[in-house]
Structure 1
Amino acid sequence: MTAQATDFAASTAPADVVRRQYLASAAGDLQALRASLAPDVEWTEMAGFPLAGTYRTPEGVTAGVMERLAQDWDHWTAHDDTYIVDGENVVVLARYTAVNKNTGKPLDVRVAHHFTVRGGQIVRFEQFVDTAFVRDAMTD
């Protein structure tokens, strides 16, 4: 492992913490994903999204969001591409891609995520997505 990789793995910089969360999610590594979340995390999925609501605790987030996405979608991935950082706030412009298991329809939609990072852990998350695209992929 290079020194740079070691630095990234241990970094508490807000953008690095958020990036590790995306990498863990994409790899299906729920343990690593939970490690990026504060014990009192508040994770909010947007109104109109199939999993709308606020989830608390790392276990609540992975069980209520990531595990449920895996039940309904094949290859669910959040592709992070642009980071905007202001102190503890990190806004990520990204794209969701997946295939709905019931309809076979693909999903490819732009999203924005707002993270708040404190003490090297994500304490708050809020999702912004055009939920009509998600619903269209879920209906015949």
Structure 2
Amino acid sequence: MCHIEFATSTAPADVVRRQYLASAAGDLDALRATLAPDVEWTEMAGFPLAGTYRTPEGVTANVMEKLGQDWEGWAAHDDTYVVDGGHVVVLARYTATHKATGKPLAVRVAHHFVVRGGLIVRFEQFVDTALVRDAMTPGT
């Protein structure tokens, strides 16, 4: 019963957790189902996919699918949640191996989500982009 409640809960932390679980499972349909139609998803300046993407399809096509093309085993590990109303900050880690360089990545990140009406309406990523770039650069 707990799983069913979690799966249908509109509590902000539960919605965000479903997004991480869907991403980890590679279930882009389930991930899109956590996003509002007018979502604004911002990848940090300096990150390889930097920019703001809109619509659930735009987010998965321009972020998740591209990460899967360039990285082996890309995963966002959601470690700690800080919740204030509809704001959810997640302290997390990215792990992966860059396909072109073979270099591993292990970097701490912070994600800020805004959840309204049971859907993610805004996302902003904070990450040490130099570590990501290092993993993408041959011979460093």
| TMscore range, shorter length | over 0.9
- Alignment partner, residue 3 of structure 2: 5
Q: Distance in 1 between matches of 2:134 and 2:79?
A: 24
1:1-140 map, 5 Å: 3-140=1-138
Sequence identity percentage: 82
* C-alpha RMSD of matched pairs (Å): 0.2
Q: Aligned with 1:23: secondary structure?
A: helix
Letter in 1 for 2:51: G
Give runs of ≥4 in structure 1 deviating > 3 Å: none
Determine the C-alpha separation between the residues in 2 that align with 1:28 and 1:101.
18
**For 2:116 and 2:89, how far apart are their aligned partners in 1?**
14
**Deviation per residue, 1:75-101 (Å, 9 max, x gap):** 000000100000000000000000000
The secondary structure found in structure 2 opposite 1:102 is coil
The one-letter code of the counterpart of 1:75 is G
Distance 2:3 2:96 in 1: 29
SS at the partner of 2:79? strand
* Matched length: 138
Where in structure 2 are there 5+ consecutive unaligned residues?
none
2: CA distance, partners of 1:38 / 1:48: 26
Q: Normalising by the residue count of structure 2, what TM-score does the alignment of the two structures yield?
A: 0.98
Residue type at the aligned position of 1:28: G
Task: Give structure 1 stretches of 5+ with no counterpart.
Answer: none
